């Protein structure tokens, strides 16, 4: 094994495809987090979904048997984007937001004003009510000098009807209309991992990233200097690793496999 679990002192984990798939909770998830708590290993949960507020995830985690997760431990591409914007702009800065109500709440909590007039930045995430008028407003603002920031670059996301357009599809449209590339925050970009490491107070080399997507979780974790555990309960398979040429430090069938391996390390 190229992954020495005895050297890991913090965990960052994806959620969908690692903890659950849709409404189905995956095996031994609760046992895994009980182990982390017994061993005093801090953890954060990171998702590229910008549409939901962290408290939504806190509630779901409690419902599946993982209580007392603090909102700061939930890092969405929306909260990471808000953290980035706070390093660039002061309180009360107007931004034009394309996104879901959960993302709007995050931006308001970060003390930004949501309006098109005098907007310093256009922030775009997944938006189920995205339309031509929003695209037109965003295009004119970006062409007139507003910064262009995307919560994440995921072109699609799965739902019961199949793959649906994601935030990255909206970014691609606006990039085509403005000839400007956005600053993208979510996985696999470093900004997302930087926020997680800062909140955990740990070093990258002793932090484990757990994920099911090679091109976001594993690639981003490796590029940020983290150790990586690839679980086969979500999107990608071991064959995809060779196809994408993205190889994790170790592959596990799921969190239960990782748990038993760690307990015996």
Q: Is residue 17 part of a domain?
A: yes
Quick one: pLDDT at residue 76? 97
Q: Is residue 82 part of a domain?
A: no
Q: Is residue 125 part of a domain?
A: yes
Same domain, 115 and 154: yes
Active-site residue flag, 14? yes
Cβ partners under 8 Å of residue 101, min gap 6: none
Q: Is residue 33 part of a domain?
A: yes
Cβ partners under 8 Å of residue 20, min gap 6: 26, 29, 64
Among 4, 14, 105, 179, the one annotated catalytic: 14
Quick one: pLDDT at residue 162? 78
Burial class (CB in 10 A: 0-12, 13-18, 19+), 193: buried
**Which among 27, 17, 21 has a CA at the least distance from the CA of 215?**
17
Same domain, 125 and 144: yes
Q: Is residue 146 part of a domain?
A: yes
Which of 116, 149, 184 is the last residue before a domain boundary?
Answer: 184
Active-site residue flag, 133? no
Same domain, 32 and 116: no
Alpha helices in the chain (DSSP H): 29-38, 54-63, 77-88, 101-109, 132-143, 167-178, 190-200, 219-223, 238-244, 255-263
The percent helix, strand, coil of the chain (3-state, each to 5) is 40, 20, 35
Quick one: pLDDT at residue 1? 55
Rounded Cα gap, residues 257 and 27, in angstroms: 10
Rounded Cα gap, residues 195 and 123, in angstroms: 18
Same domain, 103 and 178: yes
Rounded Cα gap, residues 217 and 239, in angstroms: 17
Same domain, 199 and 137: no
Same domain, 99 and 161: yes
Which of 184, 217, 236 is the last residue before a domain boundary?
Answer: 184
Rounded Cα gap, residues 242 and 110, in angstroms: 41
Q: Is 30 helix (H, G, I), strand (E, B) or coil?
A: helix
Same domain, 166 and 206: no
Query: What pTM, to 2 d.p., does this model score?
Result: 0.92
By residue count, the chain amounts to 265
Q: Is residue 58 part of a domain?
A: no
Quick one: pLDDT at residue 159? 75
Same domain, 94 and 168: yes
Q: What is the CATH number of the domain that holds 259?
A: 3.40.50.1000
Q: Is residue 100 part of a domain?
A: yes
For the chain, residues with pLDDT lower than 50 are none
Among 4, 16, 127, 240, the one annotated catalytic: 16
Same domain, 94 and 125: yes
Residues spanned by the domain of 101: 90-184
For the chain, what is the domain count? 2
Same domain, 213 and 180: no
Q: Is residue 155 part of a domain?
A: yes
Which of 136, 155, 184 is the last residue before a domain boundary?
Answer: 184
């Amino acid at each position: 094994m190229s992954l020495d679990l005895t050297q890991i002192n913090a965990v960052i984990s994806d959620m969908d495809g690692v903890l659950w798939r849709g409404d189905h909770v995956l095996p031994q998830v609760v046992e895994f987090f009980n182990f982390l708590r017994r061993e005093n290993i801090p953890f954060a949960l990171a998702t590229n979904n910008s549409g939901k507020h962290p408290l939504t995830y806190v509630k779901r985690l409690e419902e599946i048997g993982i209580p007392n997760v603090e909102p700061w431990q939930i890092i969405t591409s929306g909260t990471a984007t808000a953290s980035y914007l706070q390093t660039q702009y002061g309180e009360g800065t107007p931004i034009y937001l394309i996104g879901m109500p959960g993302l709007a709440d995050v931006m308001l909590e970060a003390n930004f004003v949501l309006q098109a007039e005098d907007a310093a930045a256009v922030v775009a995430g997944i938006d189920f009510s995205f339309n031509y008028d929003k695209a037109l407003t965003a295009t004119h603002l970006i062409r007139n000098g507003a910064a262009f920031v995307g919560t994440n670059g995921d072109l699609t996301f799965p739902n019961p009807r199949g793959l649906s357009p994601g935030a990255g599809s909206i970014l691609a449209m606006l990039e085509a209309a403005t000839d400007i590339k956005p600053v993208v925050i979510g996985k696999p970009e470093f900004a997302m991992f930087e926020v997680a490491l800062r909140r955990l107070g740990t070093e990258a080399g002793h932090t484990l990233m757990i994920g099911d997507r090679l091109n976001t979780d594993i690639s981003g974790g490796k590029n940020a200097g983290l150790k990586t555990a690839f679980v086969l309960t979500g999107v990608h398979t071991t064959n995809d690793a060779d196809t994408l040429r993205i190889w994790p430090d170790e592959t596990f069938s799921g969190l239960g496999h990782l748990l038993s391996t760690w307990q015996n390390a």
